[in-house]
Amino acid sequence: MSESIFKKIKIGIVGGSGYAGGELLRLLLSHPHAEIMFITSEKFSGELVSLVHPNLRILCNLRFISLENIKDVDVIFVSLPNGISMQHMSFLKEKAKRIIDLGADFRLDKEEDWEFWYAKEHKKPAWLKKFVYGLPELNREKIRGSKYIAGPGCEATVSLLTLFPVVAERLIKPSPVIIDAKMSSSQSGKKFSLASHHPERAGSVRSYAPSGHRHTAEIEMMLKPYLENLRVDISATAIDMVRGILVTIHSFLKPGVEEKDIWRAYRKYYHKEKFIRIVKQKRGIYRYPEPKVVMGTNFCDIGFEIDKRSRRLILIGAIDNLTRGTAGQAVQSMNILYGLDESLGLEFPGLHPV
C-alpha cells in the first residue's frame, strides 16, 4: 500500500523559474498527493512564483527562495541548466530521499560518452551509475526501485518511444536510421539569444543541428541492447511553434516484414500504456501524429507508413516537449516511485483547436 495514502508527498523544485519548472509546478498543483514545500530561483528569490509563471495566478501563492534555504522533503525535482545540477547533487541528496533530475547531467551511463556529447568535464562521474533513465514505458521496473531518476531529453523521448517496438522486435535494419526532428522554440529553454529573438525566429524553418545532436547518445544507449550495430543519426530543425516536437524517422524493413508485423509490435509493447496512442487513420485531417493535438498533455502519438517501393518504414512521433518530454514524465516517474496510478496529475486531455 502506498505511503502517500496516509500523507502527502512533500516536494521541492530546484530551478523553478524556467519553462520546465513552470510546467512541473502546473502539473503538481493538481496532483492529489503532492504538497509543494518550496521552489527555488536565485534570480527571482523573494518574488511571487506567479510573477514568472502568470498562468498560475491565484493557484500558487509561493515565493521563490534561494537554494541555500531549502528544507528537507521527500522528493526534489531539479530543473537546472546542463552542467549545473551535478555541482549541487551532494548537497541535494542530504535534503531529499529521492531526486528526479529533469536535466542532462545524469542521463548517460558512461563518463566518456557524456563528455564527448556535452564537450565538458563531468564533475560527478560516480553518480552516473546511481541514476536510472526515467522513461517509464521502457524502464518502469528500474524506476520503481530507484532513488535517483534522470529525465530523458525531449527529442530522445519521442524518438525512443516511436522506435522502441520495431527495434525490440528487430523489424528494421540497424542502419540507416535517420531522425528528422522539427523542434519548437521552448525546447531551447528560457535563456534568450539572437537565435531566439523574435524577428529572427518568427516564420523560420531553420536547420540548426543537421548532425551531431546530443540526444543521439541517449537513443543509442537505450536501443543498442536490442539491436546490435544500431546507428542513429539526427537532423534537427527549428520551426515557428512554441511547444511540440514532431519526428519523422526513416528506417528500412528487414526482408519478410509486413505491415501486420508493425501493428503487432506496437500492440505488444504499448497496449496497456495510458500515454501512448497509435495514430494511423484513413480519414480526417489528423491522420498522423501532430504536435498541436498533444499540447499540454503527457501523450506520445505514434504513426507509421511503409513505402512499398523502397521498403522504407517511416515512423512519425509527436509530443509536447515541456509536458511529455520533460515535466510530465518526471511526474509519471514520481507516481511509479510511490506506487500511485501513473496518470495522477496528468489527466489533462489537451485542447482543440489551439
Active site residues: 154
Nearest to 120 by CA among 134, 132, 108: 108
Name the burial class of residue 163, with classes exposed (0-12), middle (13-18) and buried (19+) by CB atoms within 10 angstroms of its CB: buried
Query: How far is it, in rounded angstroms, from Cα 164 to Cα 220?
Result: 11
Q: What's the full length of the chain, in residues?
A: 354
Distant-in-sequence contacts of 206-211, Cβ < 8 A, 24+ apart: 206/237, 206/238, 206/239, 207/235, 207/236, 207/237, 207/238, 208/183, 208/236, 208/237, 208/238, 209/234, 209/235, 209/236, 210/235, 210/236, 211/235
The sheet with strand 34-39 has its strands ordered as: 34-39, 9-14, 73-78, 96-101, 148-150, 132-133
Phi, psi torsion values for 248, nearest 5 degrees: -115, 115
Say if residues 162 and 317 touch (Cβ distance below 8 Å): yes
Peptide bond into 176 cis (omega under 30): yes
CA dihedral 164, 136, 215, 42 (to 10 degrees): 170
Phi, psi torsion values for 212, nearest 5 degrees: 75, 25
Query: How far is it, in rounded angstroms, from Cα 111 to Cα 129?
Result: 10
Give the cell for residue 172: 528494421
The sheet with strand 276-278 has its strands ordered as: 205-209, 232-239, 177-183, 245-252, 312-319, 300-307, 276-278
- For 274-301, give the DSSP string: TTEEE---SSSS-SS--GGGGTTS--EE
